[in-house]
Chain A
């Protein structure tokens, strides 16, 4: 059971938009910055979003992040087949003194 809660899967058609939610508590999402990661099959996780809504250089603006209270959302617009991957949210938990992740969401682009 992960500390952060994500839907196991989401799907949408190419060109459409999808959102992935991440729910936590005050000690993690509520108090700290959230990051989002994309993991393509057989590869290492790749940072998509940090500090709630910032994109590292090289990440297209089709990817966006937001946070409200103890929840966060990753948005992906203009879906491409290459976006099919597992997506994880992660943040520090100030009560547990550990870095926590969501269980991951598998994105299918139909």
Chain B
């Protein structure tokens, strides 16, 4: 069974940093693309970043230069390093896995990030 477990969320002041982790099990982790998708309180889904099985990375414009996605295939874990956090980054962050564009994706339960003074 595919399982994704996010951790590392919490409250941080504007301008601060957090590192989110997404631990995976139940599938061949190195062959999967892993994305982060966020949802601000009462709002819709917003994709943030993806790291492909080939380690290519893509970002939402509003987080470029502030967020960095990386993966450690030996630990079956993806990280999202978030720097220079802003109030508008407040959201639940979900980790999403998918092997190919024709494969079903799987979502974790999310971790809450709150940016507030």
Contact = CB atoms under 8 A, between A and B. Distances in A.
* Majority-rule SS of A interface residues: strand
A35 B102 contact: no
B32 interface: no
Contacts of B101: 32-33, 51, 92
B105 A35 contact: yes
Please classify how large the interface on chain B is, using the bins under 10, 10 to 19, 20 to 34, 35 or more.
Answer: 20 to 34
Contacts of A60: none
B105 A99 contact: no
Given A44-B94, A97-B58, A104 B45 contact: yes
Interface of A: 2, 32-33, 35, 37, 44-47, 50-51, 54, 56, 86, 88, 90, 92, 97-104
A92 B33 CA distance: 13
A62 B48 CA distance: 31
Interface in B97-114: 101-110
